[in-house]
Amino acid sequence: MTQADSSPALIQAASTSSRKNIKRLWQLRNRKSRKRCNKSCTQSSGIVDTPRTLQTFKACWHSKKSWRGLNIVMPFLVRITHSCTVLFSLVLASSSMIDLHAKERESSPRRYSDTDNLDFLRLAIDRAKATLNEPRPPRPFQPTLEQLRLSQRLKDENIEQSLRPKPVPPTPLPLMDDAQVDIILKKRGVVSKYAREQVNDTDLSRLQPGQWLNDEIINFYGALLLGRSDEFKENPPKQKVNGSQVLNIYYFSTFFWPKLKEGYEKGRLAKWTKKVDIFSKDVILIPVNHSNAHWTSAAINFRKKRIESYDSMGTRRDGVFKALRAYLDAEHRNKKKTPFDFTGWVDHSIDEPQQENGYDCGVFTCQFLQGLSRGDDAIRFTQRDMPALRRRMIWEIAHAKLRDDP
């Protein structure tokens, strides 16, 4: 069957309501403007007879090989779309649907009102205005270069101190040795002798609580420190004493400081080291008496290149540093014939520990010298250790021997 024969047959199969539209499309098939064709389809009114229209659409779809078939298919698509739109409008316009929408609006109250929105906006604006009247926030902290260096130095010191072994505090005497102290204090006359030093019962009684130490007690204790150093130098021990190393020291008696204040030449200090080379020592220990009212300790530390002063009252003794520097230079000129080189040397003092009374300064001085002779990096005692340290010194002086326990 040719396309010309099939076209009247398709038109005959269409419904009565759609036949006029198809005829009009057939008359416009040879025109170039498809716009007029689409417009003519959309101008038609009424609802499509859907079953017959679909049948016609199916028949036309098989003839889509020609433009004539395509021109026939397009109007039916438009008609179907238009019919669906009309049906959907009728459903929505029904009385039952209108009642349902009304009931839904009545049953669900509005969540927010215009008044609530205005109150919210007004509150937000008031808060924003209030922030404008508040003071400006502080500027972020920006440390200076010096503050950064100080902070870094403190961190390094804390790390070094944490890595350094903690000092062991002095231990009290065992019960048997502590009982001997009471027996020693009952002795009369000369109680002990060592090297050129000796003490009697009157001197030893100054180690009881609340007593001020004299030259005899301090010089006797210094002689014990010097003797231990000489003994260890000749016979080095296999193990350290109290976890510390006994240094090669030299001890100046309490009478050295008054001579040093007179001057190197006037005090004839060259004779004090006639048989000793102090520059070969590790540390030089010097007890210092200030106006016969206070004991402190000083040291010339060749190992660490420091002039050291230890005052249990926490007072910095600049006069001690100046006098010992002058002595070092004069002694070096006298023995080595050249000025002393102070390159890298510093003055060193500490603030702790501090005594809490007016009579324990001598015990503090002896314990400072004890720690220096062992090369301790930290102080092991405090004010609360003074009673136990006094009884310990009584035992050591009476036996002319320093104890090995800490």
Catalogue the active-site residues.
Answer: 294, 311, 361
How far is residue 389 CA from its own chain's centroid? 39
Cα separation, 181 vs 268, in Å, equals: 40
Structure tokens at 350: 């500490």
| Inter-residue contact 222 to 295 (CB < 8 Å) | no
Mapping DSSP to helix (H, G, I), strand (E, B) and coil, where does residue 251 land? strand
Question: 193 has which bridge partners?
Answer: 198
Residue 322, number of CB atoms within 10 A of its CB = 12
Structure tokens at 51: 């079953």
Residues 6+ apart with CB under 8 A from 213: 206, 207, 295, 362, 363, 365, 366
Burial class (CB in 10 A: 0-12, 13-18, 19+), 290: middle
Question: 93 has which bridge partners?
Answer: none
Cα separation, 251 vs 282, in Å, equals: 11
Cα separation, 256 vs 259, in Å, equals: 5
| Closest residue by Cα to residue 324 from 249, 254, 264, 250 | 264
Beta strand extents in 292-380 (DSSP E only): 294-301, 306-310, 346-349
Structure tokens at 21: 């539209």
Cα separation, 232 vs 135, in Å, equals: 72
| Closest residue by Cα to residue 199 from 173, 207, 403, 254 | 207
Cα separation, 172 vs 405, in Å, equals: 10
Structure tokens at 344: 């890298």
Four-residue CA torsion sign, 259, 262, 267, 272: positive
- Helix or strand holding residue 190 (H, E): strand 190-194
Structure tokens at 218: 């301090």
Residue 105, number of CB atoms within 10 A of its CB = 10
